[in-house]
Amino acid sequence: MEALVTPGSSKSSGEARSVLMRTGIGAWTSLAMALAGCSGGDSAAPPPPPPPVNRAPVITSAATRSFAEGTADASYAITATDADNDPITFALAGGVDADDFHFELGSVVAFNAPPDFEAPTDANGDNVYEIIVSASDGTATTTLAVRITVTDVADAFGLRRVVSGLSQPLFLLGRGDGSNRVFIVEKAGQVEILDPTTGALNAAPFLDLRTVIDPSGEQGLLGMALAPDFAASGTFYVHLNNLSGDTEIRRYRTQTANPDLADLSTGDVIFTATQPAASNHKGGFIGFGPDNLLYIALGDGGGSNDAFGNGQNRNSLLAKILRIDPSSDGFPTDPSRDYAIPSGNPFAGGGGAPETFAYGLRNPFRASFDRQTGNLFIGDVGQGAIEEISLIRPGEAGLNFGWPVLEGTRVNQAGSTAGMTAPIAEYAHGSGPRQGNSVTGGYVYRGPVDVLRGQYVFGDFASANIWSIPAASVSQGATIASAAFTIQTAAFAPDLGVIDNIASFGEDDAGNLYVVGLDGEVFRVEPR
């Protein structure tokens, strides 16, 4: 910079500018080179930035879902988002109930078959199906635990007439052989075998006792029960009135070569109760309880107001529920008593007839055991005012239901009511929708129709009204009035024929409920 001309220099101004430009360019060039030298001399490009971090998909479909049973297209669609816009692959990844589902359409999990609330297939049988679904972008996978709940749907139902033209059928019970067929007991003394699906009757009756039965009045072949070991032994029992009008319980076995026919040569009168000359109030129910003992229902023998004094007479076999053990013989020297007395009977040690289990009944024509609880529901036909349903729970021996002092909860005769057990339901005589004149005991429904399950269904022979009450609401000692009955008469209107003169309700091996009309028609309750 020494060449820079200062004021007073002998150089002209043009020469000075020329020198300044020359010396300035050089100086700036030297400065740039010096600065470049300060950088260390590395002239390579900077490294590229790291690749972006992959973000896993986010499943957006819900963790819970519910379907009504029977839904044909019950399915769960998996949805998800991916922040990197990568393509997503879905899958059914597992879960304890994964085998009940299949994967379809790339993102849908569907039931293999329409779910059934009454027959759940999930691991713990609670109708909540647990699966795991996944979403993957090829690098990362996200899973979600999903709970799919199946809800119950109340089934519609109706009555289908399964047969007509029978001769005064009184009772129906399951065939007991897994064939879905039923026995039908006819008053005059025959037992038929019916296929309720086709309506076909066997060509020959299973049993024919017409020559040994008096079917007049309320008498006849009244009931039938299969021994607990019937499938192996072919043993069964019938309740009838013989030609003298007396009650007999007879034991038979089926033919070895043809189990659809009874072997009459095996007949054995195991029990007899002498009856008064009247032809009514003979009872009729016979059945094995959950204790494998045989229960027999006998009326008071006939007449009005317990004319023969049997209701409160503990020594009489009439007006009672009896309980015996036909698998043993406690009276080996008495050919008419081929049974033993259960030790739990209330008068097994004295104080009354040892066969007695409960007493104070007028005419317990129809009764049934609840196949789930073992409770015995008894339809006891009233006299002039009240019809009643009584109850015996397992372990309750010696109950006194009050007849003839009480008719239902109504006082009928003078006498102490101490220790008497009230009915669990009753209704008054009359022609109204909650009335009738002759109760027909029914069953606690345990069949396939949801809306009826757990309901005690019963009716009236004279009015043909049908009702139900929840079995779970029944309490010993408390009487349900007819105002609380659910009227089922219209719901039980059949597809063909007319329900009248309800002789009994029946139950087959699968728990289907039947209505038996004395006029020859039989109907079955079926889902619709």
Instruction: From first to last of the 528 residues of the chain, give the pLDDT tens digit.
Output: 334 333 344 434 444 444 333 444 444 444 444 444 444 455 678 888 888 899 999 999 999 999 999 999 999 999 999 999 999 999 999 999 999 999 999 999 999 999 999 889 999 999 999 999 999 999 999 999 999 999 988 778 999 999 999 999 999 999 999 999 999 999 999 999 999 999 999 999 999 999 999 999 999 999 999 999 999 999 999 999 999 999 999 999 999 999 999 999 999 999 999 999 999 999 999 999 999 999 999 999 999 999 999 999 999 999 999 999 999 999 999 998 999 999 999 999 999 999 999 999 999 999 999 999 999 999 999 999 999 999 999 999 999 999 999 999 999 999 999 999 999 999 999 999 999 999 999 999 999 998 999 999 999 999 999 999 999 999 999 999 999 999 999 999 999 999 999 999 999 999 999 999 999 999 999 998
Would residue 3 count as lying in a domain? no
Would residue 36 count as lying in a domain? no
- 110 and 214 belong to one structural domain: no
Which CATH number belongs to the domain containing residue 141 in this structure? Answer: 2.60.40.60
- 146 and 187 belong to one structural domain: no
- 191 and 240 belong to one structural domain: yes
CA distances from 115 to 71, 103, 133, 396 (A): 7, 16, 19, 41
Domain boundary among 151, 169, 193: 151
- 479 and 497 belong to one structural domain: yes
The span from the CA of 122 to the CA of 28, in Å, is 87
Total domains, the chain:
2
Helix (H) or strand (E) holding 16: helix 13-38
pLDDT of residue 42: 55
- 143 and 203 belong to one structural domain: no
Would residue 469 count as lying in a domain? yes
Would residue 44 count as lying in a domain? no
Which CATH number belongs to the domain containing residue 461 in this structure? Answer: 2.120.10.30
Domain boundary among 151, 174, 206: 151
pLDDT of residue 18: 41
The span from the CA of 277 to the CA of 237, in Å, is 24
pLDDT of residue 119: 87
Would residue 25 count as lying in a domain? no
Would residue 73 count as lying in a domain? yes
Distance of CA 368 to the CA centre of its chain: 17
- 126 and 190 belong to one structural domain: no
- 237 and 340 belong to one structural domain: yes
Contacts 24+ apart (CB under 8 A), 489-496: 489/433, 489/464, 489/465, 491/157, 491/158, 492/159, 492/466, 492/523, 492/525, 493/158, 493/159, 494/158, 494/159, 494/160, 494/161, 494/523, 495/158, 495/159, 495/160, 495/161, 496/160, 496/161, 496/164
The span from the CA of 404 to the CA of 450, in Å, is 39
Would residue 319 count as lying in a domain? yes
Domain boundary among 127, 151, 175: 151
The span from the CA of 64 to the CA of 80, in Å, is 15
- 335 and 451 belong to one structural domain: yes
Q: How many Cβ atoms sit within 10 Å of the Cβ of residue 135?
A: 26
- 106 and 228 belong to one structural domain: no
- 163 and 134 belong to one structural domain: no
- 223 and 168 belong to one structural domain: yes
CA distances from 39 to 25, 26, 34, 74, 321 (A): 22, 21, 9, 72, 116
pLDDT of residue 26: 46
Tell me if 467 sits within 8 A of 456, measured CB to CB: no
172: left (phi over 0), alpha (psi -120 to 50) or beta: beta
Stated pTM of the model: 0.77
pLDDT of residue 153: 85
Buried b / exposed e along 339-361 (16+ C-beta atoms within 10 A):
bbbbeebbbbeeebbbbbbbbbb
What does the DSSP assignment read for 243-288? TTS-EEEEEEEE-SS-TTSEEEEEEEEEEEE---S-SS-----EEE
- What domain range includes position 231? 157-527
The span from the CA of 108 to the CA of 131, in Å, is 13
Tell me if 507 sits within 8 A of 174, measured CB to CB: yes
For residue 17, the one-letter residue type is R
Residues 6 or more apart in contact with residue 488 via CB below 8 angstroms: 457, 466, 467, 468
Helix (H) or strand (E) holding 34: helix 13-38
Would residue 346 count as lying in a domain? yes
Tell me if 310 sits within 8 A of 363, measured CB to CB: no
- 163 and 140 belong to one structural domain: no
